A and B are shown apart, each in its own frame.
Chain A
Amino acid sequence: GAGVSQSPSNKVTEKGKDVELRCDPISGHTALYWYRQRLGQGLEFLIYFQGNSAPDKSGLPSDRFSAERTGESVSTLTIQRTQQEDSAVYLCASSLVTDYNQPQHFGDGTRLSIL
């Protein structure tokens, strides 16, 4: 597709369940970022992928959060044993190259609600 695609668009789950969020970046984009936006706040960086390696995981809030990426394609963000404070919109962004002078293109996000 033309843009970054994320699925599902909405996810409601019970506290304690695991969830998996998916991101399809723009074809050819080697850099991929996950961000989180909690209600009334700005976006918080979670993790950065260059290809299928993650040189910056500094934003992951706890060991319940993990992510992986297959080659230079799909990435999944997994949250284990979800808590209510995990409720947020999870956004994925991709960019073309690694010189950081390329803008990031964002998906529509996954709205995660923990009951």
Chain B
Amino acid sequence: AQSVSQHNHHVILSEAASLELGCNYSYGGTVNLFWYVQYPGQHLQLLLKYFSGDPLVKGIKGFEAEFIKSKFSFNLRKPSVQWSDTAEYFCAVNALGSGNTGKLIFGQGTTLQVKP
């Protein structure tokens, strides 16, 4: 069965520190990849997505992610975090192929706390 693993469950950083959140998935075929963010008291929002092409994708608020197919990874990065980045971050995969219904397989989520 397909699965998504996020390595860090809770990350605490000071403002201006660099961020990298790990995400690995298990599926041998073609995938669409997503990072969603949930700010306190808000609904899930799309941060960025990868469908094809350049494996380095840029999203909102200075976030980027790199798809490394050989490592089945899609790690999220930001060079300098802000207090307002405090949120929960979810990696998600849509496994393409026959029978695909667009359903997303989510990782457990990573809670990021940025200290001012």
Residues of A in contact with B (beta carbons under 8 Å apart)? 3-4, 31, 33, 35, 40-45, 48, 50, 55-56, 59, 91, 93, 95, 98, 100-101, 103-109
Contacts and interface: CB of A to CB of B under 8 A. Distances in A.
B105 A106 contact: no
29 contacts: A4-B43, A33-B102, A33-B103, A40-B108, A41-B109, A42-B4, A42-B6, A42-B90, A42-B106, A42-B107, A43-B90, A43-B104, A44-B106, A45-B104, A56-B101, A56-B103, A100-B32, A100-B94, A100-B100, A100-B101, A100-B102, A101-B51, A103-B34, A104-B46, A106-B36, A106-B45, A107-B43, A108-B43, A109-B43
Given A100-B102, A105-B46, A107-B43, 15 more contacts: A4-B43, A33-B102, A40-B108, A42-B4, A43-B104, A45-B105, A56-B101, A56-B103, A91-B44, A93-B44, A100-B100, A100-B101, A103-B49, A106-B43, A106-B44
B96 interface: yes
Interface string B11-34: 000000000000000000000101
Interface of B: 4, 6, 32, 34, 36, 42-46, 49, 51, 90, 92, 94, 96, 100-109
Contacts of B43: 3-4, 106-109
A98 B90 contact: no
Contact of B96 (A40, A59, A100): A100
B101 to A, nearest CB: 4
Contact of A45 (B44, B96, B103): B103
Contacts of A109: 43
A98 B108 CA distance: 26
Given A48-B103, A56-B101, A42 B96 contact: no
Nearest to A43: B106
A55 B101 contact: yes
B103 A59 contact: yes
A48 B108 contact: no
B102 A95 contact: yes
Nearest to A100: B102
Contacts of B103: 33, 45, 48, 56, 59
